[in-house]
Amino acid sequence: MVRLADVAFAVLFVGVVVRAAVTDLLVPASTLAGIALVVAVVGFSLFDPDGGDHAASLVVHVALVGATALALVLVLTDLTLVSRAVDLALFYLVVLALVGYRRAPLSSTISLFPYLGAFAVVVGLFLLHSLDVSPGSGLAAFPVFATLLLGVCLFVVPRYVEADFLLRFVGALSAVIVLVGLPSLFVGSYSLPFFSVSPWSNATLSPWFVGELPVLRSIFPNPNTLGLLVFPAVLGGVVDLHRTYGRSGSVSLFMVVPGVFLAINAVGLYLTNSRASYLAAAVGLALYAAVVVIDRRAVPVLFAGLAVAAPLVGFGVFRGVVPIDPSNRFALWGASVEALLAGPTLLGAGVVNTSELIAPFLSEGLSGQSSHSSYLSIALRIGLVGGVAYCLLVIGPLIHGAWRFKRVDVGMFALAAGFAVHQLFEGYTLFQYGPGSILAALVVGYVIASVVPEAT
């Protein structure tokens, strides 16, 4: 049954997709932040995962949402308590309280603390650096909105929105976007209300069943953005179909529509020509398939194998043994490391464009390109301290899930592994509000929720 919290989340994610596809002005980040607070209120009002007195818990949660909204107003307007630094500190503290408050005994939630601590370090450093940016600018507001959205996606949504709903909704939305984009491969660009649909003209594919085709990007400005939506839709579709089959014990009509969506998304993934998304989907599918064929006890072994295989494959690509075109990734990564070591190393350079930071360390032909790695992008912005905390957020739940293999949501674990690999090759991070960033944060949040026991 679709619940009110599911609907509120769906509205939030559609807003994220529309913002990425059309323009920031149509769905400003402030609107996303407002919807995120609504999602939190709706979730808090439904039930208390910690058990006990729901009314008392609801009062505390709603008070925290109100305090967060007030702090947002103080940070983003000319109103102020004492100074902008004080306003940011207040916002930081109330967001931590909002996402971290639990009525459960300390003994049952202590395993959540490392993730709350990593979140606190990452967002705290970004907010600290925002003091160096002109108040009222988009760069000053960005860390504020990203902090709230990341916190809600990591620690609130997974407690109140069913994982199965997330998988099905993302699969359906992704399939619709792929279908919207397919005609552009044959007829060229065309327009819809609010959307412009066109193929990617910078590259072509040669599928055996059609001949040469342009690369699919649908309503997004870049095929990699579409790949970031479609690869989790493909993997999520496989997980959803397997779970549906497991519940019924046989192929049923309930599998027809998700199966069609999965087929559409698989075609869409191929047509994006997004090699990082190919790899992420392959990693996630291999992990999930191995667990299905063997059992949950395979999770620690598989994760350890992935941890060993990933650097070996990377070294093989670097040496030319593995036939994958790295697209200058190694040069970009080397320049990023040089820029990080050149300083500021510990706390990073702040809310800046990484392409500007690494430009002095690149050859002229690569000037203007970004680091093309989420981990390096974070390290350049918030230093080694923030980079370690970010890795704890992204990779820590995978290690925790491999350890608690009897509890972990295997489907979300496979998705989180896919996103962890994907972030090696792309510059988006969890601390943003594009579709890929939101999905990655949600998936990590669901893994955390599955390994951190609730009181109920």
- For the chain, the three-class secondary structure string (H helix, E strand, C coil) is CCCHHHHHHHHHHHHHHHHHHCCCCCCCHHHHHHHHHHHHHHHHHHCCCCCCCHHHHHHHHHHHHHHHHHHHHHHHCCCCCCCHHHHHHHHHHHHHHHHHCCCCCHHHHHHHHHHHHHHHHHHHHHHHHHHHCCCCCHHHHHHHHHHHHHHHHHHCHHHHCCHHHHHHHHHHHHHHHHHHHCCHHHHCCEEECCEEECCEEEEEECCCCCCCEEECCCCCCCHHHHHHHHHHHHHHHHHHHHHHHHHHCCCCHHHHHHHHHHHHHHHHHHHHCCHHHHHHHHHHHHHHHHHHHCCCCHHHHHHHHHHHHHHHHHHHHHHCCCCCCCCCHHHHHHHHHHHHHHCCCCCCCCCCCHHHHHHHHCCHHHCCCCCCCHHHHHHHHHHHHHHHHHHHHHCHHHHHHHHCCCCCCHHHHHHHHHHHHHCCCCCCCCCCCCHHHHHHHHHHHHHHHHHCCCCC
Q: Which positions ≥6 away from 45 have C-beta within 8 Å?
A: 58, 62
Domain final residue pick, 219, 243, 272: 272
Sign of CA dihedral 259, 264, 270, 272: negative
Residue 166 tokens read as: 């997330």
Q: Does 397 reside within a domain?
A: yes
Q: Could you tell me how far CA 85 lies from the centroid of its own chain? A: 28
Q: Does 167 reside within a domain?
A: no
Q: Does 162 reside within a domain?
A: no
Q: Could you tell me how far CA 19 lies from the centroid of its own chain? A: 15
Contact between residue 273 and residue 223 where contact means Cβ atoms under 8 Å apart: yes
Domain final residue pick, 257, 272, 287: 272
Q: Does 351 reside within a domain?
A: yes
Q: Does 160 reside within a domain?
A: no
120 and 15: one domain? yes
10 and 121: one domain? yes
332 and 427: one domain? yes
Q: Which positions ≥6 away from 161 have C-beta within 8 Å?
A: 5, 6, 9, 43
pLDDT of residue 251: 63
Q: Which residue has the tokens 């679709």?
A: 2
Q: Phi then psi for 49, rounded to 5 degrees?
A: -60, -20
pLDDT of residue 456: 41
Contact between residue 134 and residue 140 where contact means Cβ atoms under 8 Å apart: yes
97 and 17: one domain? yes
Q: Does 16 reside within a domain?
A: yes
106 and 181: one domain? no
Q: Which residue has the tokens 């491969």?
A: 185
148 and 253: one domain? no
Q: Does 125 reside within a domain?
A: yes
Q: Which of 398, 7, 272 is nearest to 166 (CA)?
A: 7
* C-alpha–C-alpha distance, residues 215 and 206, integer Å: 10
pLDDT of residue 263: 95
Contact between residue 149 and residue 417 where contact means Cβ atoms under 8 Å apart: no
1 and 84: one domain? yes
* C-alpha–C-alpha distance, residues 247 and 442, integer Å: 24
Domain that holds residue 95: 1-155
Cα separations in angstroms, 276 against 138, 281, 426: 29, 9, 8
8 and 130: one domain? yes
* Torsion angle defined by CA atoms of residues 435, 436, 441 and 443, in that order, rounded to the nearest 10 degrees: 100
* pLDDT in 10s for each residue of the chain, 456 residues: 458 888 999 999 999 999 998 865 667 888 899 999 898 888 888 766 666 666 777 888 889 999 999 999 889 887 777 888 999 999 999 999 999 888 777 666 788 899 999 999 999 999 999 998 888 778 889 999 999 999 999 999 998 899 999 999 999 999 999 999 999 988 889 988 888 898 887 667 766 556 678 899 999 988 999 999 999 999 999 999 988 877 666 666 667 888 999 999 999 999 998 888 998 999 999 999 988 888 888 888 888 888 887 777 766 666 666 555 667 788 888 889 999 998 788 999 988 888 889 988 888 777 778 888 999 999 999 999 999 999 999 999 999 999 998 899 999 999 999 999 999 888 899 999 999 999 999 999 999 999 987 644
Helices 163-181 and 4-21 pack at an angle, to 10 degrees, of 30
pTM listed for this prediction: 0.92
263 and 288: one domain? no
Domain final residue pick, 222, 237, 272: 272
Q: Phi then psi for 196, rounded to 5 degrees?
A: -115, 125
136 and 226: one domain? no
Q: Does 164 reside within a domain?
A: no
Contact between residue 411 and residue 139 where contact means Cβ atoms under 8 Å apart: no
pLDDT of residue 236: 94
Residue 227 tokens read as: 């790949």
260 and 364: one domain? no
For the chain, what is the domain count? 3
pLDDT of residue 419: 95
334 and 448: one domain? yes
Residue 407 tokens read as: 């509890």
* C-alpha–C-alpha distance, residues 444 and 66, integer Å: 26
Strands 190-192, 195-197: parallel, antiparallel or unpaired by DSSP? Answer: antiparallel
